[in-house]
Amino acid sequence: MLGLLHNNPLFRPPAEAESLILQVDRGCPYNRCTFCGMYRDVKFQRRSAEEIRRLIAAEARQAPDTRRIFLADGDVMRRPFEELHGMLSELAARFPALARVNVYATGSAIAAKTDEQLQALRVLKLHTLYLGLESGDEEILRRVKKGETAACMIEAGRRAQTAGLRISLMILLGLGGVERTREHVAATADALNRMQPRLLAALRVVPVPGTELHAEVRAGSFRQVSERGAVQEVRDLLARLELTNTVFRANHASNVVPLEGRLPHDQARLVAELDRLLAAHRLDTDSPGSMPLWL
Ligand code: SF4
């Protein structure tokens, strides 16, 4: 049996700070993205249905009034429909005040479910799927070994939202390096316009020690965009977006400047802010500047 909390740190999206975190899996079943250090040294394990039942019962005794639950770790949506259905049914039965259950997801894990299955999961309180698009550029996704195509992720995101689920999408500024910065912006904007995610988070890629990307940076085969280049990317991306109702955030510690707004309402303001910053010529044009240790 897996311990109650066995990864340290236990990863969850910032928006899940107030949620009860139930770790039904350990690690990521894929675990090969070159930029990702989250579960690098963690052997993937799944709790059995019986273990999950016991875990839910124990947590329900401790916090019976829980309204929000995040199911960790890396790609809980990958589990077969029947298992997700069983888990969500158990949660609904044990937590009478439960309003929403959120998970990390991948495009292929969503694509493996039918429209009817996605709707059935929504009825059982599945609410937000955190999906890492990273880039809309297929070549970049291939280079970083994402194991997913943009086309699959866009279609999966659209289907999930049609089924009533909410997509919280993550993109990684700088993921194409200097070499593909233009392609990254153009294809990512196009993907976002087609998917219309309700929530969008733009983070800057951080080469985390121990990852392949970090080794590529050290070897000189991946040239990171400069601090100014990262700001230019987010400015050009915002200028190309045609979103109808999206909350946009780029306020993670990796970002050069914190940005937040509703799109399209705040789009012109955000672009103007970034234009002023670029015009001031204070940004580092030679290096990425200071970065956090973790993505
Ligand atoms: S980015 Fe997501 S899918 Fe890729 S290795 Fe990390 S957790 Fe797994």
Q: Is the pLDDT of residue 6 over 80?
A: no
Which pLDDT belongs to residue 110? 98
CA–CA gap between residue 255 and residue 253 (Å, rounded): 6
Is 295 inside any structural domain? no
Q: Is the pLDDT of residue 163 over 80?
A: yes
For residues 100-116, average pLDDT: 98
DSSP three-state, residue 192: helix
Is 194 inside any structural domain? yes
For residues 171-190, average pLDDT: 98
Is 2 inside any structural domain? no
Is 121 inside any structural domain? yes
Share of the chain above pLDDT 70, in %: 96
Is the bond preceding 115 in cis, omega lying within 30 degrees of 0?
Answer: no
> Residue 249 pairs with which residues in a beta bridge?
201, 260
pLDDT band for position 187 (cuts 50, 70, 90): very high
Per residue, what are the HEC states of 120-185?
A: HHHHCCEEEEEEEEECCCHHHHHHCCCCCCHHHHHHHHHHHHHCCCEEEEEEEECCCCCCCHHHHH
Q: Structure pTM?
A: 0.94
The total of structural domains in the chain comes to 1
Is 293 inside any structural domain? no
Residue 266 sits in which domain range?
14-279
Q: What is the pLDDT of residues 49-65, one digit of tens each?
A: 999 999 999 999 999 99
Is 9 inside any structural domain? no
DSSP three-state, residue 237: helix
Q: What is the CATH number of the domain that holds 162?
A: 3.20.20.70
Query: How far is ligand 1, taken at its centre, from the CA of residue 102, in Å?
Result: 17
Nearest CA to ligand 1 atom 2: 74
CA–CA gap between residue 238 and residue 253 (Å, rounded): 19
Q: Is the pLDDT of residue 253 over 90?
A: no
Which pLDDT belongs to residue 1? 47
Query: How far is ligand 1, taken at its centre, from the CA of residue 145, in Å?
Result: 10
pLDDT band for position 294 (cuts 50, 70, 90): low
**31 close to ligand 1 (CB < 6 Angstrom):** yes
